[in-house]
C-alpha cells in the first residue's frame, strides 16, 4: 500500500493545478492519470481549438500546416504540465484508478491510500440517440482535432460553444459548413441578444444555420445524409463529415464509485456547492461534477477543495464565472443575462430591478482603425448601480469581459468603472462609454 496526504484522480487543469498548490502547502500528493496529462482542455479541447481559431483569424489555409502547428503547441504545453507534476512532493502514476473504499484506490494491482481524495476525471462527448449515429463519418471534437484532410462539406449537430468554434474555424479554412440546432437560438446559456448577433455574423461569413431543428437519422450513401425536421418540415443535408457537439458527459465509468459513499446524479457526481465535497474527505471538481463545464472552473474548484482540506478560507468568487466563445467574432459573458433577470421579475411579479447599458464597436476609434467594427458591449447593473452582468460580441471580447469579472469580484458600480482611466485608443474604452 502506498500512502500520501492527497490522491488526485485526473491530471487536467483541475487536477494538476490542485496538485501543485497542495504540494506548495506541504502536502504529499499522488496524481493518477489514465491518459495524457493536461486533460481534455490541453489535449483535445481548449488549447488545440484556440490554435485553430488563431490560424482561422490570421488566414492560414494550408490544413496540414495548421494541424502540425496545433500538435506542436499541445506537445509543448503537455511537457510543461509533466514538469509541474515532477516537482518534489508529487508522484505521477499512469493508469486507470478504481475505488476500493472511501480512502483507497487501485491502479491495476497497486493500491494507494490517502486521508483525502480529489476526483478530477473530466468529461467526454455525449452522443444523442439518433439512428445512424454509428456512421463512420460521425466524429466528436476529439476526432475533429486529429483530422488529416479538410472536409469539403461539414455538418455540425449542436450550436453550443464547441459547435460554433469549429464552425467558425472550418468555414474560414474553406469547408462548407451547416449547423443544425434543436433550440430556438444558438448558445442557449448566453445572453440571447449576443447569441443572435453572433449567429447573424457567422451567417454573413457563409455558415448555414437550421435552428429549431431536430435530427431524425443519418444515412450512409456516397456521402452522409442528415435527415432532420425543421418546424414540422422534413429536410436533408449532405455532408462529407458530421461533427456531433451536443454536450458532454461526466467521466465516472470505471471508477467503481459503488464501493464509496459518493452519489451520482444526472449531471455528474453530487457535491457540496461550496466545498465540492462528495463524501467525507472525497471531493469532485470540474466537469465530473457537471456544475460548470469550464477549464478555469475546474482549476478554482480544485483550489477551493485543497483550501477546505487545509482548513483555509479563501476569497474565490465561484458565483462570478466568466466564459468565452472564440469564434469570429468572439463572444464572452459574465454574470446574469437579461433573460435571467426578466424571468426573476416575472416570477416575483415585481418592479424591474436592473438596467442595460450598451456601446457599439463601430463608434470606437480602435475598432474602426483595426477593421474590427462589428460588435456590441452590454453591461447590466442592479438598482444600486452594481455591475451584475456583462456580455460582449466583438474583437477581444474575452479580454474585456475579464476586466468586468475582476470588478464584479469587488462589487464595483458602473459609475466607479466610468471613473477608471482607460488608455486611448483601446477597445476597452467602450466599457466606460456604455449608455
Q: Answer yes or no: do 41 and 98 share one domain.
A: yes
Tens place of pLDDT for every residue, the chain, 435 residues? 899 999 999 999 999 999 999 999 999 999 999 999 999 999 999 999 999 999 999 998 899 999 999 999 999 999 999 999 999 999 999 999 999 999 999 999 999 999 999 999 999 999 999 999 999 999 999 999 999 999 999 999 999 999 999 999 999 999 999 999 999 999 999 999 999 999 999 999 999 999 999 999 999 999 999 999 999 999 999 999 999 999 999 999 999 999 999 999 999 999 999 999 999 999 999 999 999 999 999 999 999 999 999 999 999 999 999 999 999 999 999 999 999 999 887 666 667 789 999 999 999 999 999 999 999 999 999 999 999 999 999 999 999 999 999 999 999 999 999 999 999 999 999 999 999
- What angle separates helix 192-204 from helix 338-348, to the nearest 10 degrees? 150
Q: Answer yes or no: do 20 and 111 share one domain.
A: yes
Choosing from 219, 244, 269, the residue where a domain stops is: 244
Residue range(s) defining the domain that contains residue 295: 2-125+248-310
- pLDDT of amino acid 193: 97
Q: Answer yes or no: do 12 and 146 share one domain.
A: no
- pLDDT of amino acid 348: 64
Q: Answer yes or no: do 379 and 231 share one domain.
A: no
Residue 419 is part of a domain; what is its CATH number? 3.30.390.30
Is 130 part of a structural domain of the chain? no
The contacts of residue 134 (CB under 8 Å, 6+ apart) are none
Is 323 part of a structural domain of the chain? no
Choosing from 260, 275, 310, the residue where a domain stops is: 310
Report the half-sphere exposure of 390 (CA within 13 A, side-chain side): 33
- pLDDT of amino acid 60: 83
Is residue 96 a contact partner of residue 254, using CB atoms and an 8 Å limit?
Answer: yes
- pLDDT of amino acid 148: 96
By annotation, the residues acting in catalysis are 424
Is residue 414 a contact partner of residue 379, using CB atoms and an 8 Å limit?
Answer: yes
Phi, psi of 381 (to 5 degrees): -120, 150
Q: Answer yes or no: do 303 and 343 share one domain.
A: no
- pLDDT of amino acid 345: 72
Q: Answer yes or no: do 240 and 267 share one domain.
A: no
- pLDDT of amino acid 244: 98
Is residue 431 a contact partner of residue 377, using CB atoms and an 8 Å limit?
Answer: yes
Burial (0-12, 13-18, 19+ Cβ within 10 Å), 192: middle
Is 230 part of a structural domain of the chain? yes
- pLDDT of amino acid 288: 98
Is 321 part of a structural domain of the chain? no
CA Rg value for the chain: 23
- pLDDT of amino acid 350: 65
Name the nearest CA neighbour of 236 among 245, 248, 227. Answer: 227
Q: Answer yes or no: do 192 and 339 share one domain.
A: no
Q: Answer yes or no: do 72 and 162 share one domain.
A: no
- pLDDT of amino acid 347: 66
- pLDDT of amino acid 1: 87
Q: Answer yes or no: do 151 and 189 share one domain.
A: yes
- pLDDT of amino acid 343: 86
- pLDDT of amino acid 349: 61
Phi, psi of 71 (to 5 degrees): -65, -35
- pLDDT of amino acid 340: 94
Ordered DSSP codes for 45-87: SHHHHHHHHHHHHHT---HHHHHHHHHHHHHHHHHHHHHHTTS
Look up residue 286 and give its three cell numbers.
470540474
Q: Which residue in this structure is represented by grid cell 438598482?
A: 383
- pLDDT of amino acid 174: 96
Amino acid at each position: 500500500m502506498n500512502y500520501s496526504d492527497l490522491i488526485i484522480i485526473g491530471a487536467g487543469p483541475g487536477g494538476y493545478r490542485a496538485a501543485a498548490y497542495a504540494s506548495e502547502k506541504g502536502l504529499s500528493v499522488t496524481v493518477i492519470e489514465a491518459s495524457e496529462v493536461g486533460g481534455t482542455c490541453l489535449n483535445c479541447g481548449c488549447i488545440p481549438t484556440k490554435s485553430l481559431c488563431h490560424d482561422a483569424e490570421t488566414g492560414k489555409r494550408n490544413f496540414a500546416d495548421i494541424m502540425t502547428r496545433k500538435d506542436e503547441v499541445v506537445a509543448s504545453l503537455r511537457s510543461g504540465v509533466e514538469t509541474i507534476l515532477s516537482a518534489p512532493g508529487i508522484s505521477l502514476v499512469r493508469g486507470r484508478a478504481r475505488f476500493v473504499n472511501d480512502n483507497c484506490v487501485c491502479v491495476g494491482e497497486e493500491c494507494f491510500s490517502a486521508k483525502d481524495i480529489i476526483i478530477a476525471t473530466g468529461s467526454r462527448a455525449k452522443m444523442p440517440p439518433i439512428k445512424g449515429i454509428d456512421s463512420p463519418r460521425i466524429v466528436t471534437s476529439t476526432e475533429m482535432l486529429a483530422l488529416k484532410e479538410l472536409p469539403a462539406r461539414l455538418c455540425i449537430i449542436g450550436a453550443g460553444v464547441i459547435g460554433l468554434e469549429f464552425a467558425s474555424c472550418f468555414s474560414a479554412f474553406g469547408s462548407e459548413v451547416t449547423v443544425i440546432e434543436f433550440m430556438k437560438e444558438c448558445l442557449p446559456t448566453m445572453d440571447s441578444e449576443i447569441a443572435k448577433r453572433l449567429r447573424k455574423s457567422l451567417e454573413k461569413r457563409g455558415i448555414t444555420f437550421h435552428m429549431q431543428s431536430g435530427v431524425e437519422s443519418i444515412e450512409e450513401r456516397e456521402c452522409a445524409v442528415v435527415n432532420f425536421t425543421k418546424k414540422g418540415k422534413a429536410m436533408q443535408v449532405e455532408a462529407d463529415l458530421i461533427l456531433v457537439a451536443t454536450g458532454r458527459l461526466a467521466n465516472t465509468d470505471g471508477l467503481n464509485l459503488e464501493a464509496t459513499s459518493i452519489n451520482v446524479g444526472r449531471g455528474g457526481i453530487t457535491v457540496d456547492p461550496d466545498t465540492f465535497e462528495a463524501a467525507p474527505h472525497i471531493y469532485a471538481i470540474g466537469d465530473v461534477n457537471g456544475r460548470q463545464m469550464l477549464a478555469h472552473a475546474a482549476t478554482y474548484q480544485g483550489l477551493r477543495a485543497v483550501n477546505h482540506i487545509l482548513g483555509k478560507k479563501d476569497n474565490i468568487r465561484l458565483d462570478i464565472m466568466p466564459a468565452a466563445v472564440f469564434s469570429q467574432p468572439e463572444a464572452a459573458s459574465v454574470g446574469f443575462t437579461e433573460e435571467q433577470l426578466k424571468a426573476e421579475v416575472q416570477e416575483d411579479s415585481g418592479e424591474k430591478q436592473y438596467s442595460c447599458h450598451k456601446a457599439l464597436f463601430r463608434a470606437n476609434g480602435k475598432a474602426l482603425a483595426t477593421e474590427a467594427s462589428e460588435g456590441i458591449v452590454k453591461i447590466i447593473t442592479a438598482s444600486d448601480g452594481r455591475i451584475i452582468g456583462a456580455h460582449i460580441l466583438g474583437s477581444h471580447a474575452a479580454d474585456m469581459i475579464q476586466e468586468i469579472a475582476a470588478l464584479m469580484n469587488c462589487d464595483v458600480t458602473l459609475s466607479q468603472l466610468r471613473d477608471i482611466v482607460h488608455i486611448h485608443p483601446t477597445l476597452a474604452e467602450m466599457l466606460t462609454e456604455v449608455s
